[in-house]
Structure 1
Amino acid sequence: MTIPTLENERVKLSPLTLDNYHNLIDIAKEPNLIYYSPSTISTPESLRHYVEVALEGFQTKTVLPFIIYDKQHEQFAGSTRFGLINWKNKVLHIGWTWLGHQFQGTGLNAHIKFLMLQYAFETLAFEKVEFRIDERNQKSRKAVEKLGATLEGILRQDTLMTDGFRRSTCCYGILKKEWSHIKTTIFKNF
């Protein structure tokens, strides 16, 4: 299994590796960038560990990590991945997405998600894509809802955060049978 490169006129998603993660060190230092994540990336060491964990998941065929390059701004913008890949049931998660503050609200995330959803449904032929989001993270919840994802439920206090808080996680999903409608409506200009 290899990590694909996914690309359109706005964004390029390339394999995230120990050879290129250093392009994200300055972005990862931005305050509150992944406030709602149980991970930390704010130091070069913690970012490297974050990438190493992703690459371990790649070795076990459960993760495909990407580095995000914004073609419009000609800069690296952040990271995202497919995770919790269940090859038997054809279900995966899109998440672990973070973008530098200057890239947020620019439409970049919609391009990223379009490429990832298209790959999951049309190339991998998966049946379902899921998103897991901290219940408190209204910005990310609204972004996923704009993509056509359905809130399926909330896992109460299921994730331990770095500060000891136990977060509740909202579970969203898109089914393969919903993709063609979402692609031709929400992503009609892509």
Structure 2
Amino acid sequence: MTAPTLENQRAKLIPLDLSNYKHLLDIAQEKNLIYYSPSNISTPETLKQYVQTAVDGLYHNTTLPFIIYDKLKQAYAGSTRFGLINFNNKVLHIGWTWIGHNFQGTGLNKHVKFLMLHYAFETLHFEKVEFRIDERNIKSRKAVEKLGATLEGILREDTVMADGFRRSTCCYGILKREWNNIKDHVFKNF
């Protein structure tokens, strides 16, 4: 599978790989950027390893990783990806999203999610998009709920964090049959 470039008037999602990940070095080192993630991207070495894992998934058709470029600020803003892609069941996850503190709350993430949902439902013709979020991450949970995603359940203490804490994970989903209504109401100005 080849990773596409997705863009609208605000955001551009560029395929992430080992040739361009260095655009994210400064952002990846921001304090508490991925506090609720079991991943570590805080050093150039751990960021490279994180990207290598994403690229490996691309070659195995299980991930599509992207660099997020903010066209309004004309700057690289972070990273996101499609993951756990299941072509048989037509289900995938959107996640592994981190955006620099200067880009948070600016509307950029909503544009990113629109591009990804549009691609998942209207190009790939998938039946469901899922989001997995740390139960404690209220900010991200509210953002996904504003997109129209439904909380489907909580996996209790299913993920070990870097500090040994066992987090519980909230599982959200959007079905293809819900997409047109979400697009018309949540993304009506896109």
**TM-score range relative to shorter protein:** over 0.9
Counterparts in 2 of 1:158-177, with a 5 A limit? 158-177=158-177
* 3-state SS of paired residue (1:55): helix
Is the aligned partner of 1:30 residue 2:21? Answer: no
- Kindly report structure 1 stretches of 4+ aligned residues shifted beyond 4 Å: none
Is the aligned partner of 1:188 residue 2:152? Answer: no
User: 1:3 maps to which residue?
Assistant: 3
Give 1:40 shift: 0.4
Counterparts in 2 of 1:74-153, with a 5 A limit? 74-153=74-153
Give 1:142 shift: 0.2
Distance between the aligned counterparts of 2:69 and 2:60, measured in 1?
Answer: 26
Counterparts in 2 of 1:65-80, with a 5 A limit? 65-80=65-80
Give 1:111 shift: 0.1
What is the TM-score normalised by the length of structure 2? Answer: 1.00
Give 1:64 shift: 0.2
* 3-state SS of paired residue (2:177): helix
Task: Give the alignment's Cα RMSD to 1 decimal.
Answer: 0.3
Distance between the aligned counterparts of 1:115 and 1:160, measured in 2?
Answer: 30
Amino acid at match of 2:120: A
Deviations 1:140-174 (A, max 9, x none): 00000000000000000000100000000000000
**Aligned sequence identity (%):** 75
> How many equivalent pairs are there?
190
Q: Which runs of 5+ in 2 are unaligned?
A: none
Q: Which runs of 5+ in 1 are unaligned?
A: none
Distance between the aligned counterparts of 1:185 and 1:8, measured in 2?
Answer: 18
* 3-state SS of paired residue (2:9): coil
Amino acid at match of 1:47: L
* 3-state SS of paired residue (1:82): strand
* 3-state SS of paired residue (2:80): strand
Distance between the aligned counterparts of 2:29 and 2:140, measured in 1?
Answer: 20
Amino acid at match of 2:119: Y
* 3-state SS of paired residue (2:36): coil
What is the TM-score normalised by the length of structure 1? Answer: 1.00
Distance between the aligned counterparts of 1:97 and 1:148, measured in 2?
Answer: 18
Amino acid at match of 1:11: A
Deviations 1:78-103 (A, max 9, x none): 00000000000000000000000000
* 3-state SS of paired residue (1:96): strand
Give 1:136 shift: 0.2
Give 1:135 shift: 0.1
Deviations 1:48-83 (A, max 9, x none): 000000011111100000000000000000000000
User: 1:41 maps to which residue?
Assistant: 41
